[in-house]
Amino acid sequence: MIRRFAVASVSLAVVLGCGTLPAVAADSVPAAVTAAAPDVDVTKVKGHLNELSAIAGRNGGNRRSTGQGYRDSVAYVKGRLQAAGYTVTEQPCTSGCTSGAGPNLIAEWPQGDAANVYMFGAHLDGVSAGPGMNDNGSGSAALLENALTLAQQNPTLRNRVRFAWWTDEEQGLNGSDFYVRSLSSADRAKIKAYYNFDMIASTNGGYFVNHITSSAAAPMKAYWDSLGLRPEENTEGAGRSDDYSFEQYGIPTSGYAMGASARKTSAQASKWGGTAGSAYDPCYHRSCDTLTNINTTGLDRASDGIAYTIWQRAVLAETGGCDTAGAVANGGFESGTAPWTGDTGSIGARSGQSAHTGTRFAWLAGYGSTRTESISQTVTVPAGCTRATLNYWLRIDTDESGSTPYDRFTVKADGTTLATLSNADAGSGYVQRSVDLTAYAGRTVTLAFTGTEDSSLQTGFVVDDVSLQSG
């Protein structure tokens, strides 16, 4: 049982009076939710990291591009992709690479417009000093699980998605340079953007986006903004990873990074936590870049942001006039309470509950006494949205039993109830839920989440990661 402290006393007579509330409608999940980007399972991402770690262990402790550790890494990624239905190409690097370097690995999902390609890449090689788990097992594993998730979900694609795992990055961005250089100019022109993932699980890391103000970066930034992370430009990594090979040919690029040997500033430590004055990755290019040198929270947030970007770029309808980025502010409750109003004391990091991502959440009700708590903010649904879905994560934790609804949770827009849940919907963890806000396109509405309890047996409604999506 998880119960909150509250100044409340409950008389037995009142307790006996409970149990006669009207039945509530089940939460309706609109069809549009099928177009929402999936949650990429970080446990599976870490499973790939375990395999890469074991591969290094069998091959002298590293995955350098010229060694068997690299070739075995290629075989692992290739095998998993093929099993999921990808056609995978090994591209030998025949010029500009270190002698003996293994191949690039390219995999394309055979759907969507082949003239509009969105590429997502990570270097799969490491340095000889260690197993290269953060640099760059992290990017490689997150990309692999994203590719497998795309195949498993198999959404109708508008544009083409191509994944790449690069060889010989550590010796000079050589694999990616060879790839881009080798394309015909016609094929290069089909690549509308390239997204790079190099070191996305730094233990003392920050949330960095490459070319953060560019239009290529918009979905990457929007996703981390939606978690309240306030990402910054990836200045440390500029020109230092495989996105640079694409930049050289004028292809728009972006990506995520959590940082290498540069030191976290005190402003960054206040914003993101961690240790000011210490390197983002204390094991950068060292033997200690092992499985313990992984920031699981950061890896999870990057993995989900990659999926969000794939969906925004290739799955969803054109968003012309429907830019939902930032429509819900502080939806992850990570940055204070504003602009939420109402019972903002429900927002924070409290013992007894935990966040869906980050450390903070909104915990509505859960006292075990008659009580209503509500938070709201105004949200503008852009006029150009042909679909708009409000997504949120909800954990319902109750001491009630059975299927009678006593304690209720509602989502309202301008006072109209769009979803109602109750203690009868309780489960052990967070569940992503959504309401359709398409009807509100072009309007600014007050969005409210409310928890209402009857006089006994607590039900807490824990909300996190609220965002508006254009699908």
Catalytic amino acids? 169
Query: Which residue, 287 or 372, has its beta carbon nearer to ligand DPN?
Result: 287
Q: How far is the CB of 229 from ligand DPN (least distance, A)?
A: 18
Nearest C-alpha neighbor of 377 from the set 292, 459, 453, 463: 463
Q: Which does 391 bind (CB under 5 to 8 A by kind): ligand DPN, Zn ion, none?
A: none
Q: Which does 236 bind (CB under 5 to 8 A by kind): ligand DPN, Zn ion, none?
A: ligand DPN
For residue 393, list its beta bridge partners: 432, 464
Q: What residues make contact with Zn ion under the rule CB under 5 A?
A: 135-136, 198
Q: How far is the CB of 260 from Zn ion (least distance, A)?
A: 7
Q: How far is the CB of 283 from Zn ion (least distance, A)?
A: 12
Nearest C-alpha neighbor of 198 from the set 257, 119, 130: 257
Q: Which does 237 bind (CB under 5 to 8 A by kind): Zn ion, ligand DPN, none?
A: ligand DPN
Query: Which residue, 136 or 422, has its beta carbon nearer to Zn ion?
Result: 136
Q: Which does 240 bind (CB under 5 to 8 A by kind): Zn ion, ligand DPN, none?
A: ligand DPN
Query: Which residue, 86 or 207, has its beta carbon nearer to ligand DPN?
Result: 207
Q: How far is the CB of 31 from ligand DPN (least distance, A)?
A: 40
Q: How far is the CB of 292 from ligand DPN (least distance, A)?
A: 18
Q: What residues make contact with ligand DPN under the rule CB under 6 A?
A: 135, 169-170, 198-199, 236-237, 240-241, 257, 260
Query: Which residue, 254 or 377, has its beta carbon nearer to Zn ion?
Result: 254
Query: Which residue, 65 or 422, has its beta carbon nearer to Zn ion?
Result: 65
